[in-house]
Structure 1
Amino acid sequence: LPTKKAGRYTGGLWVGKFLKTHSYQRVTTDAAATRVAAYGSRLCMLEGFAGHAEQCNLRVRRYGGISVPYAAAAPVLPEAAE
């Protein structure tokens, strides 16, 4: 592709040029917020991010009414009935 020699210092095209980045998502129900937070909590604990997991656990407690001990992963929630 013609880049007027800009490809030398910009790196040209790469897969990131074609991806759409979303900066936010909207969660509309308490059940959905609880489910997303529980997944996040478990993922954070797997990666060793106890502080990040605690932020997820706050949402599990607030929106799901589920007691999660400090610095522990949220429990696996049962599948939602549709």
Structure 2
Amino acid sequence: MGRKVFSCQKDPLESFPNTNAVTMMLSDFDEYKEELVKQRQNGQLTVGTFQNKSSAVNVFVEYLLKIKKQNKQGIIMK
């Protein structure tokens, strides 16, 4: 699986007031899902475990995208 991009330093394009923040690209989630497929094909994951993990990733990414869209529309999430 590919290396995740984590940043606690202020980026000129985007800064976080909280150093506990992490930066992840959507491609990181795609890489993780590809890894799940490989593990399933190698017999390392059962069908149920594979489906649970894949569904969890999908739901989490959809949630993040929804929150990002709402924040752009002026809705503040806490």
Q: Which has the larger radius of gyration?
A: 1
TM range (shorter): 0.3 to 0.5
Higher RCO (C-alpha under 8 Å, 6+ residues apart):
1
**TM-score normalised by L of structure 2:** 0.33
**TM-score normalised by L of structure 1:** 0.32
Q: Which is richer in helix?
A: 2
